[in-house]
Amino acid sequence: MSTLPGRWTEPEKFEVYTRWSVYILFVFVPLAAAAIVSSVSQDHPRLALLYGIGSVIEAALGALVSSRAFTQAVGGRRMPLAWVIALATVGMAQTVLALQIPLSPDGRPERVWAVVLALGLILAATAPMLNTRAIAVGVLLVALAAGAAAAAGLPPERGPGEDYLHPLPAFISAAAMTAGIAFSTRVTAWMLKVVRELDRSRAVHARLAVAEERLRFSRDLHDVAGRALSAIAVKSELATELSRRGQDGAAEQMAEIRHLAQETLREVRGVVSGYRATDLAAELDGARSVLRSAGVETRVTGVETELPEPVQEALGWVVREGVTNVIRHARARTCTIDLEVDAGTARLTIGNDGVRGRPSTGGSGLLGIRERLAPLGGELTTTHEDDSFVLAAVVPVPAAAARGSATMERP
């Protein structure tokens, strides 16, 4: 998706940051496992060691499965089933070890949280590719396992001062925690998919706009030149045949062919000149449409006035080049285009907040704009501060052309 070599687009950055915000959770799994078994490590060192090693293996498998699950959720390659089976196998082995942790008579929930950690990690890793119903079933199973772990091994009668964890609070706590993590992971995958689809839609929109303009130009060219060229071909054949037979009329046909060719050339030049000409109002409308299609919040303000045609054309080229640079070289969130006519001077400014690093101001595009403004006595300046970049063009306008102006603002 990246448009510039070595640089990430905003959707790519969003996906990377979002994915790693989930992957970082798996780093804390071994730490949580160590905290859970720390109270039984003295009496059951082997059990604590096995559960700790298993948590490291399960966390590594969980991060791998989560990465593949996100890829599958956003439309990428499907994850091999073997990875899910391996994660489930390690998780079940961890659950068996967790059930060996004795219940604490003072109500500490080490055994319950060990079971929740072992089973909940499986659900959290696979949640990006599961639907809502499957996640709900998984949450219910983890909560039931937590309640069963709290209920299993309870003595028939409690001794003085003994207060074991009740199964119902264990069930509710496990369900709430597991549901929160699993559904948030699923929503994260959904957001990544939406961002990717929006980025694809923006790229398709840009390609369709170019294709539509090409079709329009080809249609205009066909309408102008197609019929005339067909007539030229027919008359050429007729003139050739008349000349071959030595009959009169060949010279007249050649004269008509020359006239048709001249008319066609004139019309084609008109199409090309109309295609290349710039209209300031049309450029402002097009700039707002293109920037919004690119996800840039755009505000256009200006003055409705009868500017001279050379000034309009020059400022139209400024808008075209400035907006093109915003789309191609900036990562802007907002863009403002202001047109002011005051004291015989038209001033057009284009500002955006998406500049990263020091922008180049000596490119061929800006050089071409300066060359267009020079015959009118205008000048082009650039201003860069922090992440903002402002392109400003100033062109002198005869006083008579600026009369009767009315301020306008377009959101």
Domain assignment present for 54:
yes
Domain assignment present for 349:
yes
Query: Same domain, yes or no, for 25 and 172?
Result: yes
Query: Same domain, yes or no, for 304 and 400?
Result: yes
Evaluate if residue 77 carries a pLDDT over 90.
no
Q: Which amino acid is at 301?
A: T
Domain assignment present for 2:
no
Q: How confident is the model at residue 50 (pLDDT cuts 50, 70, 90)?
A: very high
**Number of other residues whose CB lies within 10 A of the CB of residue 46:** 9
- Mean pLDDT over each residue of the chain, to the nearest integer: 80
Q: Average pLDDT in the 198-225 region? A: 74
Is the distance from CB of 346 to CB of 318 less than 8 angstroms? no
Domain assignment present for 5:
no
- pLDDT for 304 equals 58
Report percent pLDDT > 90 for the chain: 21
Evaluate if residue 15 carries a pLDDT over 70.
yes
Evaluate if residue 226 carries a pLDDT over 90.
no
> What residues make up the domain containing 35?
10-202
Residue 220: closest CA among 290, 261, 278, 276: 276
CATH number of the domain where residue 271 is located = 1.20.5
Query: Same domain, yes or no, for 287 and 138?
Result: no
Query: Same domain, yes or no, for 230 and 114?
Result: no
Query: Same domain, yes or no, for 183 and 218?
Result: no
- pLDDT for 154 equals 64
Integer Cα distance of 275 and 286 in angstroms = 14
Place of tokens 């191609």: 328
101: DSSP letter: S
Q: Name the domain boundary from 259, 276, 293.
A: 276
CATH number of the domain where residue 378 is located = 3.30.565.10
Q: How confident is the model at residue 395 (pLDDT cuts 50, 70, 90)?
A: very high
Domain assignment present for 296:
yes
Integer Cα distance of 378 and 371 in angstroms = 9
Hey, which of 12-26, 101-115, 129-143, 311-325 has the most confident mean pLDDT?
129-143
Which two three-digit tokens encode residue 83?
Answer: 């990875």
How would you class 274 by CB atoms within 10 Å of its CB: exposed for 0-12, middle for 13-18, buried for 19 or more?
Answer: exposed
Domain assignment present for 4:
no
Q: Average pLDDT in the 99-116 region? A: 80
Query: Same domain, yes or no, for 191 and 302?
Result: no
- pLDDT for 1 equals 46
Query: Same domain, yes or no, for 20 and 147?
Result: yes
Query: Same domain, yes or no, for 268 and 370?
Result: no
Q: Average pLDDT in the 97-115 region? A: 80
Number of domains in the chain: 3
Query: Same domain, yes or no, for 297 and 406?
Result: yes
Q: Name the domain boundary from 202, 228, 249.
A: 202
Integer Cα distance of 222 and 225 in angstroms = 5
Integer Cα distance of 3 and 192 in angstroms = 19
Query: Same domain, yes or no, for 225 and 254?
Result: yes
Evaluate if residue 136 carries a pLDDT over 90.
yes
Q: How confident is the model at residue 92 (pLDDT cuts 50, 70, 90)?
A: very high
- pLDDT for 342 equals 81
Query: Same domain, yes or no, for 129 and 30?
Result: yes
Evaluate if residue 324 carries a pLDDT over 50.
yes
Q: Name the domain boundary from 181, 202, 223.
A: 202
Q: Average pLDDT in the 9-26 region? A: 86
At a CB cut-off of 8 Å and minimum separation 6, what does 66 contact?
22, 23, 26, 124, 125, 126, 128, 185
- pLDDT for 403 equals 47
Of the two residues 216 and 45, the one the predictor is more confident about is 45
Domain assignment present for 60:
yes
Domain assignment present for 144:
yes
Query: Same domain, yes or no, for 159 and 145?
Result: yes
Q: Average pLDDT in the 60-72 region? A: 92
Q: Average pLDDT in the 220-224 region? A: 66
Which two three-digit tokens encode residue 411?
Answer: 């959101």
